[in-house]
Amino acid sequence: MKIIVGSYVLLYHTINKKWLIKVEEEKKMHTHIGIIDISSIIGLEYGSTITTTLDKKIYLIQPTIFDYIMKSERNTQIVYPKDLGYIALRSGIQNGSKVLEIGTGSGALTTFLASIVKPNGHVYTYDINPEFMKIAKKNLVKSNMEEYVTMTESDIRNGISLQDFDAAIIDLGDPWTIVEHVYKVLKGSGAFLAICPTMNQAEKTAISLKNNYFTDIECVEILIRNIEAREGMTRPSMRMIGHTTYLIFARKILSIDSKKDTPVNN
Amino acid sequence: MKIIVGSYVLLYHTINKKWLIKVEEEKKMHTHIGIIDISSIIGLEYGSTITTTLDKKIYLIQPTIFDYIMKSERNTQIVYPKDLGYIALRSGIQNGSKVLEIGTGSGALTTFLASIVKPNGHVYTYDINPEFMKIAKKNLVKSNMEEYVTMTESDIRNGISLQDFDAAIIDLGDPWTIVEHVYKVLKGSGAFLAICPTMNQAEKTAISLKNNYFTDIECVEILIRNIEAREGMTRPSMRMIGHTTYLIFARKILSIDSKKDTPVNN
Amino acid sequence: MKIIVGSYVLLYHTINKKWLIKVEEEKKMHTHIGIIDISSIIGLEYGSTITTTLDKKIYLIQPTIFDYIMKSERNTQIVYPKDLGYIALRSGIQNGSKVLEIGTGSGALTTFLASIVKPNGHVYTYDINPEFMKIAKKNLVKSNMEEYVTMTESDIRNGISLQDFDAAIIDLGDPWTIVEHVYKVLKGSGAFLAICPTMNQAEKTAISLKNNYFTDIECVEILIRNIEAREGMTRPSMRMIGHTTYLIFARKILSIDSKKDTPVNN
Amino acid sequence: MKIIVGSYVLLYHTINKKWLIKVEEEKKMHTHIGIIDISSIIGLEYGSTITTTLDKKIYLIQPTIFDYIMKSERNTQIVYPKDLGYIALRSGIQNGSKVLEIGTGSGALTTFLASIVKPNGHVYTYDINPEFMKIAKKNLVKSNMEEYVTMTESDIRNGISLQDFDAAIIDLGDPWTIVEHVYKVLKGSGAFLAICPTMNQAEKTAISLKNNYFTDIECVEILIRNIEAREGMTRPSMRMIGHTTYLIFARKILSIDSKKDTPVNN
């Protein structure tokens, strides 16, 4: 596949030196490994190699959603790839899903969710912070996911007219306050998944879910370790991210009549 | 959404007592928590609650790909959900992707890959074991993913006529022997991802990738811990799966002329 | 070193089949790998090999404190070896130390502490449960640590006449309630270390320590993974203990005049 | 306990700002949190608080072996506290033990081993690097462990006249080459423990142990996570050390006659 003007390209030198750029004519990029002539890559195939003015190799990679997320503009903590994959799989999100996201943040998770539900599904995302919404918009446009997302600047605790969501993904500081609101707009057996950096948030959210007709409640933490696989000296990396977040998942049960019928899980 | 004859339903009692069944008329299921009258659930909404003859609650859950995978028939070790999500995200697989899978096994990973590439993409899966292929077929039919998958009983080291794969997912005992074959059929900057249970496999595969025009080589291990989130006594579970597999990822670089130009990654 | 009547021996067949026994004349042990004639080992060297009546090998190992602890009689959860070593090192306990233990339990931790402080130090251990005390006593006698330990059946919240402890090790359900009592009997800069299975216990204890003239407050969790190191197929074990306890450590600061002077740590 | 001239003191401000110093008259320490007048602490109790010229608090802590190790002079990677405690416990080292250390390095592990075997045991440590030996000597003197250690600058593969060690601790790049030499000088059922940063070292060492009359072979990896225990927002730290080393342990079996009798473990 050929690179054209307007294409996005991941300029890859090493794992720690890579840039996600948009191809434009007459663009040059100054880096500490030399100048990269962006216009020179127009017409090349993805997978090609160019060199900087300091003769360092740059590989031209077609960016994936992973790359867009890792290189997204952000002013909030993003959800990490190790967590994203599990969120999608556990919540059952796939092509065609109708997904509610509460807490757009910088849009990294939104981008990922849109990439999964497309082309037949849709993501409805809510945030109360207009600054976040602007950045999220830019990230969605860059990754070409804009058409699969509807952004709304409001607090869903004030009401929401949509219904029958397949899944709701919550990235708020106080997810337990939103449980009953989410309950109303999920379809039967629909998925609730909240991102909870602290154990206190996870605990409060679990309690709220147990008290609000949710079942299959599961709280997990995912860790990723890099392995340095090298001939005769393979070992895990010395450095590691020790924690990002807990993930808490549940599924909605239709209530029959009263709170005394609350399902008890475990 | 109403449950009809032929629907699949996850009968959920607790995390350790759940059954994935197909709804049929006049079917009854005998369990140690009582008899479940399957025919009685025809016409109910997903999310409803029924009771067994011993008055135990059963929640009627619409199964997700996660449930199909966890409840798939198998005679091989399956790839775990914690790993599946990362495989898809890191490899950039999404709706429309053309994916090569080498090592169909029981089809759990195939099912997952198909659920992501549909409706516009396709998974081409290869295995040399006809017994595995039969089980994989059943699992694909059950999860309704059959039309997005082409199964071939052969060893791709003997040749493969397809080209231009976006990604190749390898689940073989000796992935390092397949690297050069996969190289030929991947598109430029396409993704290679191998499942390597042992460190020795990961090491050999990394070496082979470094010697065969691949870059962005990354080896990781993903751990999942269950958290028991309970009021005033939240803590990780005592039991945990200590290891499933290492995952090794890379992207294809177009070779220019000779092996002496091999990219060196770190 | 020769085995004599009265010696303790670890009869080791495999990691999962091993017995800690006392050598007696005319004793035979019936196991599912055959009968072991205990009297036959009198006069052998530690490190020797015998066989059962089913011709299975048994290695005669001189037990270490690790073996005594792993094979101790117990009716409470014991502190695991992965945690024990860190407890001793972080608390600065060594030969000659005067140690306070609150919560004797089955005496496994007591045994370990005694093995470190001997021959010049002493462990003073408190518990309110006479049943635990009986079992702990047996375990201390068996491991020959009895003379380095004074056991008291009382609640130290009711007062304790001893002073100037080098370290206090707390294994109670509510360690935060004991912080001020421990403060009074520790020497200046002495160590406090509590075993807290849940995050809520750790949090409450940390708060109490911050409010009671302690500094260098550290909370950690230690994980141990078994590695199956085998030629060409080395990997971590599939099974793992996911959690035992958090450990919370601090050191006592001498208060000068008033609570308003409380040190703030982070 | 009063601080006198010649005492070592840990000047503790925060977890990341602490200094291990020797008390001398007319000594002043210049730090970025102000000047600390060391002579002013002579006669104070450990646990007291002083202030810098910038009015920052400094707690006067009596250093433990943990502090000496963490603040030791070093030009090699030290063994971490999380590993040290387990090494001692698993190897059965205690007061009175006769311990062989191969690979003195900067002496951090030597210091720790000495602190456990004292006053009745002894550590015999070997290294071929005179530079390391000099640093190790300084660290042993500082922590007051010198009298319990005999340092020898030689390669034990060239012979060693001592016998009957209770335990041997190996910190070399190629521990598998030393297994048979260690075998000869360990007492029956004595402990072998090697520090192996890579999986390849662990694998080779395990194979060598299986081929040389060792049993109870165990390979583990220990991970430590810091927990930020704070009111209402408790969670693991974002940063973590991902790997230091594997630890491989075994116990010596007395050979009877020939290699064909080699014990097979697991």
For range C41-56, the mean pLDDT:
96
d(CA B131, CA B135): 7
The helix (H) or strand (E) run that includes residue B223 is: strand B214-228
Residue that the structure tokens 């006067």 belong to: D60
Per residue in A72-115, pLDDT (tens digit) is 877 677 788 999 999 999 999 999 999 999 999 999 999 999 99
d(CA B175, CA B170): 7
For range D177-198, the mean pLDDT:
97
Contact flag D200-A232 (C-beta cutoff 8 Å)? yes
Which of C49, C66, C231 shows the shortest C-beta gap to D253?
Answer: C49
Contact flag A243-D235 (C-beta cutoff 8 Å)? yes
Per residue in A237-251, pLDDT (tens digit) is 999 999 999 999 999
Give the rounded distance of the alpha carbon of B13 from its chain centre.
Answer: 25
Per residue in C135-166, pLDDT (tens digit) is 999 999 999 999 999 999 999 999 899 999 99
pTM beyond 0.90: the answer is yes
Which residues, in sequence order, are bridge partners of residue B51?
B57
User: Which residues 218-257 of B are in CB contact (within 8 Å) with C?
Assistant: 225-226, 232-244
Contact flag B240-C238 (C-beta cutoff 8 Å)? no
Q: Give yes or no for a cis peptide into C81 (omega within 30° of 0).
A: no
Which of C188, C203, C228 shows the shortest C-beta gap to D1?
Answer: C188
Tell me the pairing of strands C214-228 and C235-236.
Answer: antiparallel
d(CA C50, CA C43): 13
Whether the CB-CB separation of B91 and B71 falls below 8 Å is answered with no
Total count of residues recorded for chain A? 266
Q: By the CB < 8 Å criterion, does C199 face chain A?
A: yes
User: What percentage of residues in chain C have a pLDDT greater than 90?
Assistant: 88
- CA C116 → CA C132, D93, D100, D250, distances in Å? 22, 9, 19, 22
Per residue in D34-82, pLDDT (tens digit) is 999 999 999 999 999 999 999 999 999 999 999 999 888 776 777 889 9
d(CA B1, CA D235): 39
What the block records as the tokens of A134 is 């602007």
Q: How many C×D Cβ pairs under 8 Å?
A: 239
Coil, strand or helix at B205? helix
Q: For C235, which residue in chain A has the nearest alpha carbon?
A: A235
Chain A interface, best mutation among D225, D235, D247, by max A CB count within 10 A: D235
Maximum CA extent, chain C = 73
Which of C12, C226, C246 shows the shortest C-beta gap to D227?
Answer: C246
Whether the CB-CB separation of B126 and B161 falls below 8 Å is answered with no
How near does any CA of chain C get to the CA of A245, in Å?
Answer: 15
What sign results for the dihedral spanned by CA atoms C159, C161, C163, C166? negative
How near does any CA of chain C get to the CA of A175, in Å?
Answer: 19
What's the pLDDT band for D184 if we cut at 50, 70, 90? very high
Amino acid identity for residue C229 in this structure:
A
Single out the residue of A251, A265, A177 nearest to residue A214, CA to CA: A251
What the block records as the tokens of B212 is 């065969």
Per residue in D212-238, pLDDT (tens digit) is 999 999 999 999 999 999 999 999 999
The helix (H) or strand (E) run that includes residue A236 is: strand A235-236
Which of D200, D233, D234 shows the shortest C-beta gap to A234?
Answer: D200
- CA C194 → CA A200, B44, C156, D65, D170, distances in Å? 20, 53, 15, 19, 32
pLDDT of residue B79: 84
d(CA A88, CA A91): 5
Single out the residue of B57, B112, B230, C224 nearest to residue A219, CA to CA: B230
pLDDT of residue D256: 64
Single out the residue of D132, A218, B42, C37 nearest to residue D109, CA to CA: D132
pLDDT of residue A76: 73
Whether the CB-CB separation of B139 and B72 falls below 8 Å is answered with yes
Establish whether this prediction's ipTM goes over 0.85.
Answer: yes
d(CA C35, CA C33): 7
Chain A residues whose beta carbon lies within 8 Å of the beta carbon of residue D240 = 240-243
d(CA D238, CA A174): 20
What the block records as the tokens of A64 is 């994936």
Q: Give yes or no for a cis peptide into A119 (omega within 30° of 0).
A: yes
- CA A129 → CA A132, A134, A154, A195, distances in Å? 6, 9, 8, 18
d(CA D94, CA C117): 9
Amino acid identity for residue B150 in this structure:
T
How near does any CA of chain C get to the CA of D266, in Å?
Answer: 5
